[in-house]
Amino acid sequence: MYMQIRHLLFDMDNTLYPASSAMDRGISERMSRFVADFIGVPLEEGSRLRRAGLESCGTTLGWLCRDYGLTDTEAFFAAVHPASEIAELDFDPELRPFLESLDMPMTVLTNAPYVHAERVLRFFNILDLFTGVHTIESNSLCGKPYAQAYYTAVRSAGYTIEDTAFFDDHLKYIDGYVQLGGVGVWVRPDSGSEIPEHAKAYPHLPSIYQIPQVLGPHLVKNNIKRP
């Protein structure tokens, strides 16, 4: 049974738009290329090291800073998120009307840099719908799943972990939020993949368009519980 929800906190990439977008593949490929070039290894080895590093660190950037002494974060952002990346997205004309129909305060929390977040949200014409956009810079380069990233995002909007539902496509980020006492909703379009035992209790959605079916009775507008 979920608590009453007064605020929605969204991851952006692969959550507000589908993971099937070409941008998901593009970002991953550009990150792996940067890793390979920075460390000085073949691309395949760079990809392998990156996957291994992400098991113990929240982000590729954090892993490179911690284990390989990366200091030029702007070079990383520029390589991974060039202006041309926007061509990898397909516009969804239904996204803005759907988010508006939720009639709830909404905030974005992403581990991407602000230049990327603003570019994507403007592309979908939804930037103005969010009370705040919290990026990796907002959290001193320590984003999800660090607790402070979640607290900063919800508190700046005037809400709490307890009355905010968080949506993300990465299970480890949902885990981090749930451990703080919040409702984490896993956006996972691949319904055929195996679910870890602990995550079976989490609400799952193939896309955010199913939010009303999952949380509808628990969303609160104007302090009145929805029927």
Calculate the average pLDDT of the chain.
90
53 pLDDT more than 80: yes
Mean pLDDT of the region 118-123: 98
Q: Please tell me the predicted confidence (pLDDT) of residue 221.
A: 61
Q: Please tell me the predicted confidence (pLDDT) of residue 189.
A: 76
Which of the given ranges, 61-75, 110-124, 139-153, has the highest pLDDT on average?
Answer: 110-124
227 pLDDT more than 80: no
84 pLDDT more than 90: yes
Q: Please tell me the predicted confidence (pLDDT) of residue 191.
A: 65
173 pLDDT more than 80: yes
| Count of beta carbons in the 10 Å neighbourhood of residue 68 | 12
| Count of beta carbons in the 10 Å neighbourhood of residue 169 | 22
* Model confidence, pTM: 0.89
Q: Please tell me the predicted confidence (pLDDT) of residue 56.
A: 80
The CA dihedral of 85, 16, 48, 58, to the nearest 10 degrees, is: 110
The contacts of residue 131 (CB under 8 Å, 6+ apart) are 105, 106, 107, 156, 157
In the chain, what percentage of residues exceed pLDDT 90? 72
Mean pLDDT of the region 185-200: 85
Mean pLDDT of the region 159-180: 96
How many Cα atoms occupy the beta-carbon half-sphere of 63 within 13 Å? 20
Answer yes or no: are the C-beta atoms of 121 and 106 closer than 8 Å. Answer: no
Q: Please tell me the predicted confidence (pLDDT) of residue 219.
A: 80
DSSP E strands in the chain: the ranges are 7-10, 106-109, 132-134, 164-168, 183-187, 204-205, 220-221, 224-225
87 pLDDT more than 80: yes
73 is written with which tokens?
């974060």
Nearest to 201 by CA among 9, 2, 3: 2
